[in-house]
Structure 1
Amino acid sequence: MLIGFSLGLSTGLLVHLAVGGDVGWVQWLTANVTGPIGQVFLRLLFMMVIPLLFSALVMGVAEMGDLASLGRTGLKTLLLTIVISGIAVVIGMGMVNLFQPGRGVDPVLAQSLLDQGKAGAASIVNSAPTSISLGDFFLELVPSNVFTAAAENAILPVMVFALFFGVGLVMAKSPATDRLQEVVQGLFEITMKLINLFIKLAPLAIACLMFNLAALFGFELLIRLAAYVAVAVGAMAIHMFVVYPLAVWFLGGMSPVAFFRGVREPMIVAFSTASSNASLTFALRAAEQQLHLPRKIARFVLTVGATANQNGTALFEGVTVLFLAQFFGIELTLMQQFIVMLVCILGGVGTAGVPAGSLPVVAMILVMVGVPPEGIGLILGVDRFLDMCRTTLNVTGDLALATIVSRGEDNDPEDEGADSTAAAPVPA
């Protein structure tokens, strides 16, 4: 996969430098060959997301054995998600306030750029929620019809149903429920088997995705709005290489070197696909086979974290809102920034784990603080790159969270037998 990533990126950049992204044959190649190959791979993975999330979360809950273990694991996951996401938002907003990447723009230029960006941002603004209230948020978590929620790709309600389904399996122990649990386990194994089959396409698909990105945009992707990109990526780098290693080392009892060595594969997939959902399979495999985490903890934390623990998304939303406020010369008070931080944490929980899934939430926050939501059009040219970065942060954060929650938890008997010959994680 790393070879495919490097080959696609380098080939795409060479094509862009040699002939440009507007040449007919380049447009034809990306539209009819490399683009469809990458999209077919993503669709194959998205096709399995609902059965994978449902079966993995149900089994993760059912294998806890008792509600006390489930409650302890769930509480640890929730508290750590809030704390680590809060740290991410504080880092991002602190970087924007320190470096002021949006300051000093001519108001006339800002208005002209806003007018140019309105067309590209129109659909995003129209799809943005009007607000996020605690009442509506919790109400929408409970599906009135789980099949409708699954058909609409509403991940959080499906996860809530799976959570209660798993709790029911724990509470209603009988020969019939034991057989049902075996059926769900069979669904999980079939899903994983199919995904492992699809994964064989990953090197080719990643090469095609990166070729498209590099051939069409070239270095422009990295130099447009360079200050904004630098601040956002810098904040993500601090969270990735300072916060996560410290958390894994002190709270998870694992060497950061061993941790990052074990999560290389899901990080590469997350960066190239920009989708937490598409990376979930790779994260589950890395947690069990590379990090040797208890299977029940890995399944529970990673399936929940794929939607709920999105540190990179929360950080990105805070950075973007403050940058656009600076760009348009709108001063935000400390109280407004505090509200932005809280909404970013809450918005990160409900953001879809698909490419560009956070932009409607950003538009909603911009309206809340009086910034023109059409300003999103200014960042669309660099959002794909930032989406790749924040998705990598999200997926790595899920694995870090699973590592921390797993500390002090017993391995499943099957895990201990399977891992008896494997090298254990290096202790801190």
Structure 2
Amino acid sequence: MSKISSMGLTTRIMIGMVLGILVGSIFQDILAGEDDYLIPLGLFSLPIKAFFVDGIFHIGGEIFISSLKMLVVPLVFVSLVCGTCSLSDPKKLGRLGGKSIGLYLLTTAIAITVAISLALLFSPGEGVPLPTNNVYDEKVAPSLASVIIAMFPTNPFEAMAKGNMLQVIVFALLFGVAMALSGKAGNRVATVFEDLNTVILKLVTLLMNIAPYGVFFLMAKLFTTIDIDLIAKLAQYFLVVVAALLIHAFINYSVLLKIFTGLSPVKFLTKMKHACLFGFSTSSSSATMPITLETATKKLGASNSVASFTIPLGATINMDGTAIMQGVATVFIAQVYGIDLSVTDYLTVILTATLASVGTAGVPGVGLIMLAMVLNQVGLPVEGISIIIGVDRLLDMTRTAVNITGDCMVTCVVAKSEGELDETVFNDPNAAKDLEDYHKSLD
């Protein structure tokens, strides 16, 4: 036990992930298409699926995800209020917004361009049999106008209760600005919020202690239920998407970081491994947000006034991983149905997917809604989505890790441009080591 406790949190999470994958794969082998498998234990039998998969693994995984999501709204609201009320220059807020949104749209456009290029190069849809009687229940995407209107809450408490992050961000910004303009009264309230922020960040640190167990439960359930045969049938599509995601995460982000900041991409990516493991296991940028924010401020050196704005915004509108899936999926579906797309069609896909990343922000099932929009725009059958849904769960995990890497890269660029990046922290390989030591002390 002492050896396990002495390991870093990232190592323990990795161990939990690997063990979960092994256990899940073993259970899938045992079940092998059966509804359940009973383990004889003397006077009674223990059902694997009902007791472990739908019981222990499901409950443990859901508790872990819920505990992370529990922190998102209070963390974002309190942190963003603290950051906003401390801004000495009101114009800075507009600069932060313009730079952040511009960079997020740029990275999304680059992502989908890379994806389409790889898909055209490797033709993953050729040889895949045309599906019959496939039906996809298409959801109507909201218009950009309705999304902009919906950003402003009529009831901020309802927005917090429903987890509507765009509305929470807008209210936090307005509240922070009002505090900054309220003199002594604003200063007194700011002190309370600073204390709340400290307490919430400590709660994040405490909850990190259950992360290895939560990751184990999530992986065990996923790999018990995932359809390996389907992945084999769509192997080329699967591999092209993964290749595009890796190129974007390791090459595109590194080049952009070096161009805009001159910082070391190797140090940046090394410090992202902890957050990426969380993103991979949770498949949710929102659930991973507490860890992403901690990484951006404690490990990468971005000030809270910048990170508290760019990270929640990125978790809401930064869809690089989803854009990659859309690019490959569009080419894949066109090839399966034998439909030729022109250069104009591909340019339309790039533009539509880039703009849709903002227009569908915060909508449940955002990836598939965006893909349906893209397919409609270039005249491809929306039913083609049903072909790839089966393998999308595993790809979604990788997309999330890429998205949060993009969030932190943009945060570093914006913070550097505003003089709000502590390069000593960024270059320090032991930055936030006190957090790791604290995690160990809890075991």
**By how many angstroms is 1:78 displaced?**
1.9
Q: Does 1:101 align with 2:124?
A: yes
Letter in 2 for 1:140: A
- SS for the counterpart of 1:101 is coil
- Quick one: which of 198, 216, 220 aligns to 1:211? 220
Match of 2:440 in 1: none
Q: Does 1:84 align with 2:107?
A: yes
Match of 1:153 in 2: 163
Contact 1:355/1:387 (<8 A) preserved: no
Residues 340-390 of structure 1: CA deviation (Å, up to 9, x unaligned): 222211222355679954222222333343333232221121101110111
Supply the distance in 2 between the matched residues of 1:148 and 1:137 (Cα, whole angstroms).
Answer: 17
- Quick one: which of 174, 188, 192 aligns to 1:164? 174
Match of 2:130 in 1: 110
Give the alignment's TM-score, normalised by structure 2: 0.84
Residues 175-229 of structure 1: CA deviation (Å, up to 9, x unaligned): 1111222233333333323332222211001011111111222643642311111
Single out whichever of 253-262 and 362-371 deviates more from structure 2.
Answer: 362-371
- SS for the counterpart of 2:314 is helix
Match of 1:135 in 2: 145
Single out whichever of 39-48 and 56-65 deviates more from structure 2.
Answer: 56-65
Q: Does 1:16 align with 2:28?
A: yes
- Give unmatched runs, 5+ long, in structure 2: 1-12, 38-46, 432-443
- Quick one: which of 24, 32, 37 aligns to 2:55? 32
Contact 2:317/2:361 (<8 A) preserved: no
Contact 2:24/2:224 (<8 A) preserved: yes
Supply the distance in 2 between the matched residues of 1:187 and 1:79 (Cα, whole angstroms).
Answer: 32
Residues 52-73 of structure 1: CA deviation (Å, up to 9, x unaligned): 2222222222223211332333
Letter in 2 for 1:142: F
Match of 1:388 in 2: 397
Supply the distance in 2 between the matched residues of 1:75 and 1:309 (Cα, whole angstroms).
Answer: 14
Supply the distance in 2 between the matched residues of 1:411 and 1:258 (Cα, whole angstroms).
Answer: 18
**By how many angstroms is 1:408 displaced?**
4.6
- Give unmatched runs, 5+ long, in structure 1: none
Single out whichever of 56-65 and 229-238 deviates more from structure 2.
Answer: 56-65
Single out whichever of 338-347 and 348-357 deviates more from structure 2.
Answer: 348-357
Contact 2:301/2:425 (<8 A) preserved: yes
Cα 1:54–1:420 change in 2 (3 A) is closer
Letter in 2 for 1:150: M
Q: Does 1:323 align with 2:345?
A: no
Q: 1:10-409 to 2 correspondence within 5 Å?
A: 10-20=22-32, 22=34, 23-24=36-37, 25-28=47-50, 29-105=52-128, 109-112=129-132, 115=133, 117-118=134-135, 121-122=136-137, 125=138, 128-130=139-141, 133-170=143-180, 172-217=181-226, 219-220=228-229, 222-351=231-360, 357-409=366-418
Supply the distance in 2 between the matched residues of 1:247 and 1:284 (Cα, whole angstroms).
Answer: 20
Cα 1:314–1:167 change in 2 (3 A) is farther
- SS for the counterpart of 1:102 is coil
Cα 1:327–1:183 change in 2 (3 A) is farther
Supply the distance in 2 between the matched residues of 1:234 and 1:421 (Cα, whole angstroms).
Answer: 29
Q: Does 1:7 align with 2:16?
A: no
Letter in 2 for 1:26: I
Cα 1:370–1:146 change in 2 (3 A) is farther
Count of residues in Structure 1 that have an aligned counterpart in Structure 2: 408
**By how many angstroms is 1:267 displaced?**
0.3
Supply the distance in 2 between the matched residues of 1:145 and 1:330 (Cα, whole angstroms).
Answer: 47
Cα 1:420–1:141 change in 2 (3 A) is closer
Letter in 1 for 2:140: P
Cα 1:30–1:352 change in 2 (3 A) is farther
Contact 2:69/2:286 (<8 A) preserved: yes
Letter in 2 for 1:176: A
Contact 1:294/1:410 (<8 A) preserved: no
**By how many angstroms is 1:392 displaced?**
0.6
**By how many angstroms is 1:252 displaced?**
2.4
Kindly report the root-mean-square deviation, in angstroms, between the aligned alpha carbons of the 2 structures: 2.7
Cα 1:423–1:372 change in 2 (3 A) is closer
Single out whichever of 377-386 and 319-328 deviates more from structure 2.
Answer: 319-328
